[in-house]
Amino acid sequence: MFKNKKLLVLLSMVLVFALFAVGCSQPADDTATPGTDDTNEPADEVTVKEELIVGQGADAVTLDPHSTNDQPSSRVSKQIYETLVAQNENMEIEPSLAESWESIDDTTVEFKLKQGVKFHNGEELKASDVKFTILRALDSSHIGHIVGQIDGEKIEVIDDYTIRLSTKEPFAPLLAHLAHTAMAIMNEKAVTEGGEDYGQNPVGTGPFKFNNWVIGDSIELVKFDEYHGEPAKLKKVTFRNIAENTTRTIELETGGIDIAYDIPPTDVSRVEENSDLVLQRAPSFSTSYIGFNAQKKPYDDVRVRQAINYAIDMASIIEAVYQGVGAPAKGPLGPNVFAGHQGLEEYGFNVEKAKELMADAGYADGFDTTIWTNENQQRMDIAEIVQNQLKAININTEVKVMEWGAYLEGTAAGEHDMFILGWVTVTGDPDYGLYALFHSSQFGTGGNRTFWSNDRVDELLDAARVETDPSKREEYYLEAQEIIRDEAPWVFTWIGENLAGVQKNVKGFTQHPAGHHSLHGVYFE
Amino acid sequence: MHRYIFRRLLLLIPVMMGVTFIIFTMMYFTPGDPARIMLGETAPEADVIRLREELGLDDPFLIQFGRYVKNAVIHQDIGRSYTSNRPVVGEITTRFPATLKLAALGVLVSVAIGIPTGIISATKQYSIFDNVAMVLALIGVSMPNFWQGLMTMLVFSVYLGWFPSSGFSTPMHWVLPAVTIGTASCAIVTRMTRSSMLEVIRQDYIRTARAKGQVESKIINQHALKNALIPVITVVGLQFGYLLGGAILTETIFAIPGVGRLMVEAVLRRDLPIVMGGVLFIAVTFSIVNLCVDILYAFVDPRIKSQYK
């Protein structure tokens, strides 16, 4: 009997511990319930659904747009905040918080703000908020570079609804930069009161206001009733963090979420074949490339770089690695970027020509080299295929997979031979997509990890940056892209595509090429 | 006994100090500049330098370490996340319940299935039940966690529609992750119980009990099981600690906002304060679980209790 009692004590301890473990998580549970709860209970209401659940691959880092520049945060911030001007899905600049603007001179633009715009805390938008926001942005180490051309000392508030911004020198892509999600206009009072925790209690002017955040799990936004524009059709939007790609697709299939961002290429057919779902495909601003270290032998010889471009069968890479998603790149910019040169001749797969060029360069017998990549499955796959294909021109390649931090450091220091990386031209302006990558002033950490430079390209990029006439700018950029294509500091690899899986009853959703999609006009049928 | 517990708790201090130093050193000497990783490859160098200054990353190792320890000990402040700027303590405590719940449910699954299966297997050695159980246990141990998670999700959420596929809010959400994380431990517990039981039921005192005419079920449940449990408790305790720190795959697959995922993301982003806080937290929890296991021994085996002074 006595022994039995001890066993009983032991078992009850285990039980109590289990109960404690389960019980102490209850509070977090309560907050986790909204949004996820109704996902398994099919709504039996007859009325149209008004709550949208979006699944994306990571939680937002912070909702203070000046403290981060990552995609998951931008996607949420985009619904809460607005910018002075906006870029629509076709990358046309549209009025947003500024209803009109005009150039005063080469470096100064005057913006007239829309009147009667309310922040989520009830404050009215004033020019002083705009000035405060831009000064704060300039001071941010995370996004300062996006507005770095603006001269903080020359911001002039004319009256409550008029403000003048000046750049240090003429800067053509200013409006595109002001449309960046990082340039969301914030309320001075809310930011000051929020202090260090502002990122957890964001206040904007957008169609949705922040409601609740279960860290690591979900963010809930609700409709802002006093929105100055057309009110949102949805009452609530929940962003769920579902990191695993396959899980996100499954959650979409089982009806747990209404929109799944970033459907992986492997799941494309699953979504396409499901009659309840729609796969939305739209070209994105992202591009992948294989860069050479143009200051290292043998890549300092343009013939070697060209030979490798000819020796790689890009179509098979797109098919094998990206399963047909996206397209082979002809040059450094995609078709939806302003002045993206689509008339460039693709290198194409031509081993004979590659061999000729290698022989010309004195490398008929090839050489040993390495190709670097970080732990990104697609890049590792590309590296392996390239390793295989380069054997045809006697290049013996070693694939080196590196951890992201070490990879960035190594490529910035120029320790590499070849490397695989990507770029997103978020502003849709060629300045963003070319300057950092090909200008000689940007060697290393600036973005130009190929250490390739060309005087004419430098000249063109500098000129286009200050040129305000769009047709002239286009001319400069087209010429620069031709030189880059011929000089081949990259193997032009892949132009990306945004893939979103959407429930059939979700209407009004369109994807923005930069990846931060607006949910303002979304509704249920 | 109380003195023993107190002494063990005191030992936590050097453990924490050691862990702090080791992790700080490892993170410091890992290649990759935290500021550059946070800002991404598109940020200009000037911004990276500015952020390095803001975070005090340019200071020598000993100064950085000293500052961390000073803040932790004197101000009880282990900092804010480099990326989200949220206090580390809050970041971990909001996520820990999910991990604790997941680990506890996993252990519950492994104990509830593993111990009875182990006992039956041992008492009916080489029977069909025993053979089937051992094969299943082998499969359970060898099956990769992430694969099993995806398969259960595919079968039970997509095809059968019984359980939701991800999230962790309601008991229905708990089932698949608990089974996924508990399977491997369950297999280990089964095998451990079986082998330990097999050893015990061949002991003389069991034969004596049988000779005295004791009912078989009592012999197994009262005489044999208790003595067979000691190694099993050790394994369960270790498994619980392991699940606390190693729930990352299950958390990722089922989109559970737990500490494991937080830690991996923090390591990738070089978010030192979160990594330090997380490792400390897990180390302390692991030590406490181990202490609980040691205390449990005393209940099961009085001989051990007499040694706890």
The verdict on a CB contact (< 8 Å) between B97 and A25 is yes
Report whether A370 contacts A416 (CB < 8 A). Answer: yes
Per-residue DSSP letters for B112-127?
A: HHHHHHHHHHHHTTTS
Q: Name the more confident of B259 and A43.
A: B259
A24 to B100: CB separation less than 8 angstroms, yes or no: yes
In a domain, B45, yes or no: no
d(CA A90, CA B67): 50
Asked if A142 reaches chain B (Cβ–Cβ under 8 Å), the answer is: yes
Give the residue ranges of DSSP H helices in chain B: 2-29, 34-39, 45-55, 61-74, 88-123, 128-142, 145-153, 171-200, 204-211, 216-218, 225-246, 248-253, 259-269, 272-300, 302-307
Q: Which two tokens stand for residue A289?
A: 């490339």
Would residue B12 count as lying in a domain? no
The DSSP bridge partners found for residue B215 are: none
3-state secondary structure A197-211: HHHHCCCCCCCEEEE
Element (H, E) at A15: helix A2-23
Q: What's the pLDDT tens digit per position in A446-492?
A: 789 999 999 999 999 999 988 888 899 999 999 999 999 999 999 99
Between CA A394 and CA A57 the distance in angstroms is: 41
Enclosing domain of residue B123 = 88-196+233-308
* Each residue's pLDDT tens digit, A196-216: 889 999 999 999 999 999 888
Residues paired with residue A491 on neighbouring β-strands, in sequence order: A290
Asked if A446 lies within 8 A of B157 by C-beta distance, the reply is no
Whether A409 has its CB under 8 Å from any CB of chain B: the answer is yes
CA of B128 vs chain A CAs: smallest distance (Å):
29
Distance between terminal CA atoms of chain A? 68
- Report the alpha-carbon distance of residue A229 to residue B204 in Å, rounded: 86
Question: In this model, does residue A190 exceed pLDDT 70?
Answer: yes
Q: How many domains does chain B have?
A: 1
B250-298 residue pLDDT tens: 888 888 888 888 888 888 778 888 988 888 888 888 888 888 888 887 7
Tens of pLDDT along A130-148? 999 999 999 887 888 888 8
> A18 Cβ partners below 8 Å, 6+ apart?
B104, B107, B108
Q: How confident is the model at residue A371 (pLDDT cuts 50, 70, 90)?
A: very high
Q: Where are the beta strands (DSSP E) in A333-380?
A: 367-374
Between residues A113 and B165, which one has the greater pLDDT?
A: A113
Is there a contact between A239 and A75 (Cβ–Cβ < 8 Å)? yes
CA distances from B166 to A55, A114, B144, B172 (A): 11, 43, 19, 10
For residue B32, give the nearest of A61, A404, A447 by CB distance: A404
For chain B positions 251-270, those within 8 Å of chain A (CB to CB) are 252-255, 257-258, 261-262, 265, 268, 270
Alpha-carbon gap, residue A113 to A241, rounded angstroms: 35
A406 and chain B: CB distance < 8 Å anywhere?
yes
- Inform me whether the C-beta atom of residue A276 falls under 8 Å from chain B C-beta atoms: no
Q: Hey, of B165, B176, B181, which one would you mutate to test binding to chain A, going by the most A CBs within 10 A of its CB?
A: B165
State the pLDDT at residue B246.
Answer: 64
C-alpha distances (whole Å) from A523 to each of A48, A505, B94 are 9, 8, 33
Helix axes A470-487, A455-466, angle to 10 degrees: 160
Q: CA A220 to CA A158: how far, in whole Å?
A: 37
Within a domain: residue B262?
Answer: yes
Statement: residue A499 has pLDDT above 80: yes
User: What pTM was estimated for this model as a whole?
Assistant: 0.81
Q: Does B93 touch chain A (CB under 8 A)?
A: no
B224 touches chain A (CB under 8 A): no
Output the pLDDT for position A30: 37
pLDDT band at A6 (very low <50, low <70, confident <90, very high): low
Question: Cβ A216–B262 below 8 Å, yes or no?
Answer: yes
A21, B268: Cβ pair inside 8 Å? Answer: no
Residue A20 has pLDDT above 50, yes or no: no
Of A23-27, A427-431, A506-510, the least confident = A23-27
- Dig out the tokens for B136 from the structure: 């299943």
Q: Does A37 touch chain B (CB under 8 A)?
A: yes
The DSSP call for residue A150 is B
| Å between B169 CA and nearest CA of chain A | 6
Model pLDDT, residue B268: 78
Residue B282: inside a domain, yes or no?
yes
pLDDT given at position B234: 84
Q: Which chain A residue shows the shortest CA-CA distance from B54?
A: A141
Q: Does B218 touch chain A (CB under 8 A)?
A: no
Q: Is B275 contained in some domain?
A: yes
Pairing of strands A506-507, A523-524: antiparallel
CATH superfamily to which A74-194 belongs:
Dipeptide-binding Protein; Domain 1 (3.90.76.10)
Percent of chain A with pLDDT over 70: 91
Residue type, A469: D
What pLDDT sits at residue A452? 94
Written as six digits, the tokens of A294 are 């143009």
Give me chain A's average pLDDT, please: 87
pLDDT band at residue A34 under the 50/70/90 scheme: very low
Q: Are A94 and A85 in contact (CB under 8 A)?
A: yes
With beta carbons less than 8 A apart as the criterion, state whether A114 and A36 touch.
no
* pLDDT value of residue B306: 74
Cβ within 8 Å, pair B94-A141? no
Q: Is residue B82 part of a domain?
A: no
Confidence of residue A25 (pLDDT cuts 50, 70, 90): very low
Q: Which residue has the tokens 């935290």?
A: B34
Q: Give the pLDDT band (50/70/90) at residue A41.
A: very low
Nearest-Cα distance to chain B for A451, in Å, is 15
> Which of A275-284, B160-169, B241-250, B270-279 holds the top average pLDDT?
A275-284
User: pLDDT value at position A238?
Assistant: 95
- Measured between alpha carbons, how far is B206 from B197 in angstroms, rounded to an integer? 11
Task: Give the single-character DSSP code of A55.
Answer: E
> A21 CB near a chain B CB, below 8 Å?
yes
- Is B215 within the bounds of a domain? no
Give the closest-approach CA distance of B237 to chain A in angstroms. 11
- pLDDT score at A8: 55
Sign of the torsion angle spanned by Cα atoms A19, A22, A24, A30: negative
Sign of CA dihedral A283, A286, A288, A291: positive
A411 to chain B: closest CA residue: B41
Chain A closest-CA separation from residue B110 CA (Å):
13
> Does the distance separating the beta carbons of A9 and B41 come in below 8 Å?
no
Nearest chain A residue to B267 by CA: give it. Answer: A405
CB A450 within 8 A of CB A490: yes
Distance from CA of A4 to the nearest CA of B (A): 7
Characterize B130-165 residue by residue with b for buried, 16 or more Cβ atoms within 10 angstroms of its Cβ, and e for exposed. Answer: beebbeebeebeebebbebbbebbeebbeeeeebbb
Instruction: Check if the beta carbon of residue A455 is closer than 8 Å to that of residue A462.
Output: no
Which among B210, B237, B213 is positioned nearest to B300, based on CA atoms?
A: B237
Grouping H, G, I as helix, E, B as strand and the rest as coil, residue A222 is strand
The kind and range of the H/E element at A273 are helix A268-273
A142-146, A344-348, B95-99, B177-181: least confidently modelled range: A142-146
Position A301 scores a pLDDT of 93
CB-based contact B158 A409, cutoff 8 Å: no
Average pLDDT of the residues in A107-114: 93
CA distance B69 to chain A (A): 22
Chain A residue with CA closest to B94: the answer is A28
A304 CB within 8 Å of a chain B CB:
no
Residues of A in contact with B169 (CB under 8 A): 29, 32-33, 36-37
Domain assignments of chain A as residue spans, ordered by start: 74-194, 284-495
Mean pLDDT value of segment A416-429? 89
pLDDT-derived band at A33 (thresholds 50, 70, 90) equals: very low
Q: Tell which of B27, B28, B41 to mutate to test the A interface (max A CBs under 10 Å).
A: B41
Of A88-97, A105-114, B224-233, the one with minimum mean pLDDT is B224-233
Tens of pLDDT along A291-308?
999 999 899 999 999 999
B280 part of a folded domain: yes
Could you say which of B31, B107, B161 has the minimum Cβ distance to residue A409?
Answer: B31
pLDDT given for residue A252 in this prediction: 94
Does A11 have pLDDT greater than 70? no
CATH number (domain holding residue B170): 1.10.3720.10
Q: Which CATH architecture has domain A284-495?
A: Roll (3.10)
pLDDT at res. A32: 36
The length of chain B in residues reads 309
Q: How confident is the model at residue A185 (pLDDT cuts 50, 70, 90)?
A: very high
Q: Which of residues 100-159 of B touch A (CB under 8 A)?
A: 100-101, 103-105, 107-108, 111, 150, 153-154, 157-158
Rounded Cα–Cα distance for residues A339 and A480 (Å): 11
Interface contact flag, A29 B97, Cβ < 8 Å:
yes
